[in-house]
Structure 1
Amino acid sequence: MTETVLSIVPDMEVPDFLVREIQAKLAYVDEAITSARVSPGVEGIELSLNGPADKTTTERLSAKVNHLVEAMADGAFEPRLSVLEDYLDRPTSFAADPMDELYKSREVVREGSGYYILGPLLSALIDFFAERVVDAANQFGAKPYRFPALISPGYLERVKYFSNFPHSLSFVTHLREDMEVIEKFSEDGCCKDGLVHAADGSYGDPDAMLSPTVCHHLYMSLTDSVLPEEGLIATAEGNCFRYESTNMASLERLWNFTMREIIFVGSADFVGEGLEKARDMMRQTLDDMALAYKVESATDPFFIGNYRDQAAYQSAFELKHEVRALLPFKGDTIAVGSYNRHKDFFGRSLNIKQADGEFAETGCIGFGFERLAFAFICQHGFDPNSWPDAPSAHYRRLSEGWHSNNAPDYGDVPSF
């Protein structure tokens, strides 16, 4: 199908500070859009389409784009940027986009849009960092938890995930409990161009969803509870799922990723002090990785209806700070982790109380392992012998125990 480029000048200018957010949201404007580029001010928005831009399509997309820009930009104010750490000037030894080599060596295999297999090099690197986060959790005396990949839709609705992040939700379904439906799928069901094809009416209503983050499971488990006087610290690692449409690209932006969190539940002081101490601990680990990064204030990717007010609230109270690692080949940064405070939102929403009867406050640190490993490779390359000492030694220790360090003789990259 021929791709068409359509330029739209919205009625309202796009402020510089909203370019990144609006460009990300354009992926959800219309199924005809395959990619988008936003220029600040009055220069306009360039959309790549999967079909012709006839009059009807142009009018439809123009109306939707104007709605998006107005909803996010009207009355928006530029948040004050708070930088807590800045190590972006650290020297790096690699400058190329690593994805071609990662694909060629099958260190990364794309299973589908936004989900990938990682090989031993990246897995060993992730293992190094995961051990460090667990060590930090153990220093806090954090209790270990294990959470499912599925999460209750009733819970997500209760904590307003449906209204705040509807665009990123992932729904789980199954064939209806009907023998004829199941037999028909067994005979006719197929996968074509990566999509499952089944007869209309084959699926049941979703009664589970894929979990968007780790800490939600802990908060759900604490519903209608009273905490011990000393509060609660927990840690868990899990698969997380956030659908990002055409924004999903390489390891920079995934649908399915793994994350380790340390979670604090208790008084405001307890949560704040825990997050600050955790940041100090993680700074040492990032130093040992010689990672070029910064920690700066940020907001969550709320959907357009709630973006302005929710982002303003987060910015005003500096509730979120992202760890943004340098990608030398792009001259840009990517979020690999974050430090988050929720005040008493979950305490009030789920009736979680402190020992004194006040609603509990919550906070967490979380690091996305795939992004962190990708950023590290972008900065330090593929050769573990040239890596900084700590991750290099960890890789050597692991690889010495492997059955073989030889790679298979690969053919063409698989496609399913």
Structure 2
Amino acid sequence: MNLMTDAAAAAAADAAELGPSLTLRDEMLAAGLLIDTGENGLYGRSQTFEDVLDRLNVAITQLGKDQQPEVLRFPPAMRRTDFEDSEYLKSFPNLAGTIHSFCGNDMGHHRLLRALDDAMAERDDDRDDAWMEQQKPTRVVLTPAACYPIYPVMARRGPLPAEGRTVDVLSYCFRHEPSLDPGRMQMFRQREYVRLGSAEQVMAFRQMWIERGELLVELLKLPVEVDLANDPFFGRGGKIVADSQRAQALKFELLIPVADPRGKTACLSFNYHMDHFGAIWKIVCDDGSVAHTGCVGFGMERITLALFRHHGLDVNAWPDEVRALLWGDTEARVAHAMQMTQTATAGGDPA
């Protein structure tokens, strides 16, 4: 199926002729695959881009199908009190996004409009934000990670069953880090499988998903590297927390060259939270012990960008095996690959 318009194909050809001086962002914008909004890290997506991302989502669903996860979907906002309880602001205050709204009276409205008129008389980059003084925080904030709304929901259900719980969640997320690197968007989608249970259950889950994450990227014919990692904790104390996270091997990332010339980009992350969220929200196992949690997170835009980076802007010219995986019988191909991996691990005959 041809997913590129004539205009997009021509733009892609023009970008190719200009050579390596163009960045991936330039090429994606020129081809119409990403849409410039005028704000760094905030993009529109074309039909072709969204189709690739949707097909990738199907493959990820097939990878986790045997886990029989509970599928939950939340809007890209969460209750402010849950966000406050999460302790996100202790570690990443610079990334958080709050939602404000006008809550005043007629006089306040007039002040807002006067300040807005003054602001609009200036150039975009020079506009004053005095009108925002009439705004107040609402009871919701932007979701920083897809798994965050899950934990208070699980806590309200009472003790976990003996086998624990596995949840499949997908959400747009926000992080305030404007950048020209398209792999570092301010609004992006995370697909996650989240595990709640005993430490042993969560650790086994994480190891399984490290293997399955590598398998997915191999099926997509992308370079694979998994490495120990840490989150970008804020402030002077952040390095101590990051060093502790690495020392305990709580976080691994699957890295792929995407658009950052300084190195590879984390496209999947494999996280063990220990009992952090269980203790915050009083999530308990069936024996009354505090639940441990972990998750595997797929950066949906980042993996999609990696596909365009390594296979080209014309999806019709992508490798046959990649096209067959995404636009063919995805379920059968993923199941076959998983069976081959299990057979090889068990030392059997993969034929």
TM normalised by structure 1 equals 0.67
4+ aligned runs moved over 6 Å, structure 1? none
Matched, 1:231 2:231: no
Deviation at 1:188, TM superposition (A): 6.0
> Using the alignment, how far apart are the partners of 2:324 and 2:201 within structure 1?
36
1:279 partner amino acid: I
Q: Deviations over 1:224-273 (max 9, x none)?
A: 5311111000001100111114xx12312111110100000000111111
Percent of matched pairs sharing the same residue: 25
> Using the alignment, how far apart are the partners of 2:237 and 2:141 within structure 1?
22
Deviation at 1:153, TM superposition (A): 2.7
What does residue 294 of structure 1 align with?
Answer: 225
Alignment of 1:10-409 (within 5 A): 97-111=23-37, 112-182=39-109, 185=112, 189=116, 193=124, 197=129, 199=131, 201-223=133-155, 225-245=158-178, 248-327=179-258, 330=261, 332-393=263-324
Q: Deviations over 1:379-414 (max 9, x none)?
A: 11112233233432466679xxxxxxxxxxxxxxxx
Q: Deviations over 1:12-38 (max 9, x none)?
A: xxxxxxxxxxxxxxxxxxxxxxxxxxx
Q: Deviations over 1:355-374 (max 9, x none)?
A: 01110000000011111111
What does residue 89 of structure 1 align with?
Answer: none
> Using the alignment, how far apart are the partners of 1:306 and 1:197 within structure 2?
32
Number of positions where the alignment pairs a residue of Structure 1 with one of Structure 2: 303
Gaps of 5+ in 1: 1-93, 399-416
CA contact (8 A) 1:125 1:391 kept: no
What does residue 48 of structure 1 align with?
Answer: none
> Using the alignment, how far apart are the partners of 1:345 and 1:290 within structure 2?
36
CA contact (8 A) 2:73 2:169 kept: yes
Deviation at 1:222, TM superposition (A): 2.1
> Using the alignment, how far apart are the partners of 2:262 and 2:234 within structure 1?
27
> Using the alignment, how far apart are the partners of 1:325 and 1:156 within structure 2?
31
Q: Deviations over 1:136-167 (max 9, x none)?
A: 23220000001121122322222221111111
Gaps of 5+ in 2: 1-18, 330-351
Deviation at 1:209, TM superposition (A): 1.2
Deviation at 1:331, TM superposition (A): 6.8
Distance 1:105 1:148, change over 3 A: same
Larger helix proportion, structure 1 or 2?
A: 2
CA contact (8 A) 1:343 1:361 kept: yes
CA contact (8 A) 1:288 1:389 kept: no
Deviation at 1:220, TM superposition (A): 1.9
Deviates most, 320-329 or 387-396: 387-396
> Using the alignment, how far apart are the partners of 1:240 and 1:329 within structure 2?
21
> Using the alignment, how far apart are the partners of 1:187 and 1:329 within structure 2?
42
CA contact (8 A) 2:143 2:173 kept: yes
Distance 1:186 1:177, change over 3 A: same
SS of the counterpart of 2:63?
A: helix
SS of the counterpart of 1:269?
A: helix
Deviation at 1:135, TM superposition (A): 1.5
TM normalised by structure 2 equals 0.79
SS of the counterpart of 1:174?
A: strand
> Using the alignment, how far apart are the partners of 1:266 and 1:373 within structure 2?
31
SS of the counterpart of 1:222?
A: helix
Deviation at 1:185, TM superposition (A): 4.1
> Using the alignment, how far apart are the partners of 1:199 and 1:278 within structure 2?
47
> Using the alignment, how far apart are the partners of 1:342 and 1:317 within structure 2?
11
> Using the alignment, how far apart are the partners of 1:196 and 1:379 within structure 2?
42
Q: Deviations over 1:318-372 (max 9, x none)?
A: 0000111024883721111100000011111111100011100000000111111
Q: Deviations over 1:169-194 (max 9, x none)?
A: 11100112323333554576365516
